[in-house]
């Protein structure tokens, strides 16, 4: 029966090509992935709740090689995740079926396509699946995809974590995008590579259902000894297609060729149905009626009906499969904790940010939805120490593998946790973050359109970025966090916050704990900083705070992070000389405050210890809101003025003075500028 379902899936792939907006399909990888995927979804291995795909405790699947989306979509439509009409007009702007899968499509949890990332998310799912309620996790990747570095970050960590509930199928079809008939870098001992990291390796001929089915049985029903399982499925691009045109990566197939291929596939299906029915007849004649009963039951499970006449099998017909997936129930994302147990900070006293994070997490982590992952810099974040104080099974450290950290974090976020990950500002992987943000956007779109996901099913993922701005000091240009905010500012759905004060950081953490905050890029200081705000400080995203205010000021200083402390010192000294200034701490961009300052027609100093993140927003806001702009009103002071460059080593006083960002330099700059005005 699996071989019959195989042809149904291939026919669906071909019809998707015929009706796609561009008349094309990633046919080679979709066809070579068919036997592994049909074996997995119809072979009796997966415990799925198709009506409620987000319920925790069921098995999960990740299509890491997103090019095979047509085959996955064909299977999901058949299983009842969505109506088969969705398969038409794919890749169009009006379709939820894209060229690669994502949460727009019911039942799909992860947006995949950029190679090397889906396996890492599956690994994160498997970590969660080792706890109660436990579940197994499957992923399909490709041998071409295995050339991506993040794959091996995940492979190493999965072995270390003894993820015996993780099964990865590798579609070893011998090709990739630019060279469909041979890999650029052949593997000399792929089996040995996985084995060396503590994996169980099964190598099978993936042109035969019996071989793949047997390997999956070894994983599902064999002993669990702490080893994750990889099944190397040997095949070739386009396997199962008649025409050599099916061996391509992505191709447009003419209507004539599609008709020809469909006729041959349909003819082959008829032969397989006849063979199956003869086999059932033989069983009945041999009085193996119990086996026939089992076959009939399994046929119904996978969408067939075994019809009998006079005690013999005469036909195998398709059963109608209604859409089964329902709208997911809302998730309560608010973290519950006892606020009185949070640290109490003394105004004016200096605290290290990681000490505040650690102390706060000891309170937040009493809610088991708090999860943290560090990338070998836990001493600068405070996450691991704080969360592990409550529950060390929710505090992870992946070593120097930042991409893997981000993928594990995404996995726990998808499952509903409030996740915190941390490393130095420049070490976050742009490619990984962008794909995570794409998946987050798709979730938001579906929630807004009242699709299969509901409120609470977007991500709650905080990227705690330590050593922001000049805080890295003497570690060198590669470690300096002066351009990260501008870089990530160009990505959609990344909410950037630049914390200046330990009390403000605590308020930000409380705000995040309320849930449904999305993807937060939280930049924090490394060295101790004095408390500026009162204990009742309340953070709101998009709001700035006047930390030093004079009536009818001569100028405004807009700043964030460590620059707030320098600006305060400069303003306080200038106030003793009769110069009134208002210092505005802008941890997140406050459009109303920016426009208000501009409308007062006073000079505005934008002081930033980075390449001008706030300054870039001011330009955007004014160009969008104002018919004409008086550029003389703005005096930006940051590290990115003039020719862009990277900041080299130095002590903080050296670096701040070199860029004119220390209190003394700011005082002189402001005083001289105001004299000219």
Contact 74, 64 (CB under 8 A): no
Residue 118: pLDDT over 90:
yes
Same domain, 410 and 503: yes
CA 76 to chain centroid, in Å, comes to 22
Report pLDDT for 474: 92
Same domain, 249 and 271: no
Asked, for residue 453, whether it belongs to a domain, the answer is yes
Model confidence pLDDT, tens digit, residues 453-479 = 999 999 999 999 999 999 999 999 999
Asked, for residue 538, whether it belongs to a domain, the answer is no
Same domain, 272 and 257: no
The token pair that represents 326 in the structure block: 């329902």
Same domain, 257 and 291: no
Query: For residue 401, what are the CA distances in angstroms to 155, 428, 433?
Result: 11, 10, 14
Report pLDDT for 504: 98
Same domain, 444 and 523: yes
Same domain, 209 and 66: yes
Model confidence pLDDT, tens digit, residues 253-270 = 999 999 999 999 999 999
Name the pLDDT band for 76 (thresholds 50, 70, 90): very high
Closest Cα to residue 236, out of 183, 290, 189, 287? 183
How many domains in the chain? 4
Residue 440: pLDDT over 90:
yes
Report pLDDT for 290: 87
Same domain, 423 and 278: no
Boundary of a domain, candidates 235, 261, 287: 261
Decide the pairing of beta strands 350-351 and 529-530.
Answer: antiparallel
Residues forming a β-bridge with 423? 465
Same domain, 523 and 597: no
The token pair that represents 345 in the structure block: 């900070």
* Bigger pLDDT: 310 vs 555: 555
Beta strands per DSSP E along 187-320: 200-205, 229-234, 251-252, 304-309, 312-318
Closest Cα to residue 543, out of 531, 530, 529, 533? 533
Report the C-alpha gap between 341 and 440 in whole angstroms: 32
SS3 76: helix
Same domain, 284 and 369: no
What's the average model confidence in pLDDT over 532-561?
96
Decide the pairing of beta strands 634-637 and 604-607.
Answer: parallel
Same domain, 175 and 308: no
What's the average model confidence in pLDDT over 573-581?
95
Contact 533, 504 (CB under 8 A): yes
Model confidence pLDDT, tens digit, residues 368-387 = 999 999 998 999 999 999 99
Asked, for residue 184, whether it belongs to a domain, the answer is yes
Neighbours of 393 (CB within 10 A): 12
- The CA-CA-CA angle for residues 321, 30, 32, to 5°, reads 115
Asked, for residue 612, whether it belongs to a domain, the answer is yes
Model confidence pLDDT, tens digit, residues 214-248 = 999 999 999 999 999 999 999 999 999 999 999 98
Return the residue matching tokens 């032969």: 271
Report the C-alpha gap between 612 and 601 in whole angstroms: 22
- Which of the 8 DSSP states describes residue 346? -
Report the C-alpha gap between 95 and 175 in whole angstroms: 29
Tell me the residue range of the domain where 172 lies. 2-261
The token pair that represents 238 in the structure block: 């386009």
Report pLDDT for 188: 86
Report pLDDT for 209: 97
Same domain, 57 and 136: yes
Least confident of 51-55, 71-75, 547-551: 547-551
What's the average model confidence in pLDDT over 33-42?
98
Query: For residue 381, what are the CA distances in angstroms to 236, 377, 427?
Result: 46, 7, 14
Q: What pTM was computed for the model? A: 0.96
What's the average model confidence in pLDDT over 163-187?
85
SS3 313: strand
The token pair that represents 13 in the structure block: 């792939």
Percent of the chain, pLDDT > 90? 90
Residue 37: pLDDT over 80:
yes
Asked, for residue 575, whether it belongs to a domain, the answer is yes
The token pair that represents 380 in the structure block: 């600068």
Contact 286, 296 (CB under 8 A): no
Among left, alpha and beta (phi > 0; psi -120 to 50; other), residue 573 is alpha
Residue 552: pLDDT over 80:
yes
Contact 515, 539 (CB under 8 A): no
Same domain, 499 and 569: no
Percent of the chain, pLDDT > 70? 99
Contact 281, 241 (CB under 8 A): no
Asked, for residue 330, whether it belongs to a domain, the answer is no
Contact 124, 407 (CB under 8 A): yes
Report pLDDT for 500: 98
What's the average model confidence in pLDDT over 444-448?
97
Asked, for residue 329, whether it belongs to a domain, the answer is no
Model confidence pLDDT, tens digit, residues 188-217 = 899 999 999 999 999 999 999 999 999 999
Which stretches within 161-237 are classed as H helix? 190-196, 209-221
Contact 456, 514 (CB under 8 A): no
What's the average model confidence in pLDDT over 486-494?
96
Report the C-alpha gap between 142 and 573 in whole angstroms: 63
Asked, for residue 491, whether it belongs to a domain, the answer is yes
Residue 287: pLDDT over 90:
no
- The CA-CA-CA angle for residues 357, 369, 540, to 5°, reads 55
Report pLDDT for 311: 65
Contact 582, 549 (CB under 8 A): yes
Boundary of a domain, candidates 530, 553, 587: 530
**Domain with 427 in it: what CATH number?**
3.40.50.970
Residue 177: pLDDT over 90:
no
Model confidence pLDDT, tens digit, residues 355-366 = 999 999 999 999
Report the C-alpha gap between 92 and 84 in whole angstroms: 16
């Amino acid at each position: 029966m699996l071989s019959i379902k195989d042809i149904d899936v291939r026919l669906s792939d071909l019809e998707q090509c015929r009706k796609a907006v561009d008349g094309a399909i990633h046919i080679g990888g979709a066809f070579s992935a068919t036997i592994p995927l049909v074996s997995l979804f119809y072979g009796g291995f997966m415990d799925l709740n198709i009506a409620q795909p987000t319920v925790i405790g069921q098995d999960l699947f990740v299509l890491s090689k997103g090019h095979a989306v047509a085959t996955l979509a064909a299977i999901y439509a058949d299983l009842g995740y969505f109506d088969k009409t969705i398969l038409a007009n794919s890749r169009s702007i009006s379709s939820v079926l894209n060229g690669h899968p994502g949460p727009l499509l019911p039942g799909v949890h992860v947006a995949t396509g950029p190679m090397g990332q889906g396996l890492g998310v599956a690994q994160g799912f498997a970590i969660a699946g080792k706890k109660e309620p436990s579940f197994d996790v499957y992923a399909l990747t490709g041998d071409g995809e295995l050339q991506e570095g993040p794959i091996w970050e995940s492979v190493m960590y999965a072995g270390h974590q003894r993820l015996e509930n993780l099964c990865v199928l590798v579609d070893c079809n011998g090709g990739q995008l630019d060279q469909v008939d041979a890999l650029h870098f052949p593997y000399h001992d792929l089996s040995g590579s996985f084995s060396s990291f503590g994996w169980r390796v099964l190598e099978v001929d993936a042109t035969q259902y019996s071989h793949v089915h047997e390997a999956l049985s070894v994983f599902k029903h064999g002993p669990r000894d702490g080893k994750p399982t990889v099944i190397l499925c040997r095949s070739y691009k386009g396997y199962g297609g008649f025409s050599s045109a099916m061996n391509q990566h992505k191709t447009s197939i003419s209507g004539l060729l599609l008709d020809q291929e469909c006729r041959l596939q349909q003819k082959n299906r008829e032969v397989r149905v006849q063979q199956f029915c003869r086999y059932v007849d033989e069983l009945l004649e041999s009085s193996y009626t119990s086996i026939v009963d089992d076959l009939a039951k399994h046929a119904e499970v996978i969408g067939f009906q075994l019809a009998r006449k006079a005690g013999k099998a005469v036909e195998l017909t398709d059963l109608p499969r209604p859409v089964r997936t329902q709208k997911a129930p809302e998730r309560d994302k608010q973290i519950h904790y006892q606020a009185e147990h949070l640290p109490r900070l003394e105004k004016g006293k200096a605290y290290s940010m990681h000490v505040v994070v650690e102390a706060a997490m000891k309170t937040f982590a009493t809610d088991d939805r708090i999860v943290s992952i560090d990338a070998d810099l836990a001493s600068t974040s405070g996450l691991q120490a704080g969360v592990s104080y409550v529950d060390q099974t929710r505090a992870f450290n992946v070593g120097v593998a930042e991409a893997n950290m981000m993928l594990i974090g995404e996995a726990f976020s998808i499952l509903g946790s409030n996740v915190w990950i941390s490393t130095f500002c420049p070490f976050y992987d742009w490619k990984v973050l962008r794909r995570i943000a794409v998946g987050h956007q798709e979730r938001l779109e579906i929630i807004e359109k009242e699709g299969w996901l509901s409120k609470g099913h977007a991500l709650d993922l905080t990227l705690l970025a330590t050593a922001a701005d000049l805080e890295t000091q003497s570690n060198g240009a590669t470690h300096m966090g002066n351009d990260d905010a501008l870089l990530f500012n160009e990505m959609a759905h990344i909410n950037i916050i630049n914390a200046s004060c330990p009390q403000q950081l605590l308020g930000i953490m409380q705000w995040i704990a309320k849930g449904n905050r999305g993807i937060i890029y939280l930049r924090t200081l490394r060295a101790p900083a004095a408390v500026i705000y009162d204990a009742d400080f309340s953070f709101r995203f998009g709001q700035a705070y006047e930390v030093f205010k004079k009536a009818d000021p001569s100028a405004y200083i807009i700043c964030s992070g460590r620059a707030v402390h320098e600006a305060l010192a400069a303003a306080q000294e200038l106030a003793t000389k009769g110069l009134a200034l208002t210092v505005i701490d802008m941890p997140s961009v406050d459009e109303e405050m920016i426009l208000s300052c501009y409308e007062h027609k006073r000079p505005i100093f934008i002081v930033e210890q980075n390449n001008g993140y706030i300054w870039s927003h001011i330009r955007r806001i004014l160009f969008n809101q104002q018919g004409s702009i008086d550029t003389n009103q703005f005096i930006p002071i940051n590290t990115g003025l003039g020719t862009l460059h990277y900041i080299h080593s130095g002590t903080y006083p050296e670096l701040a003075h070199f860029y004119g960002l220390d209190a003394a330099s700011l005082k002189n700059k402001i005083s001289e500028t105001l004299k000219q005005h």
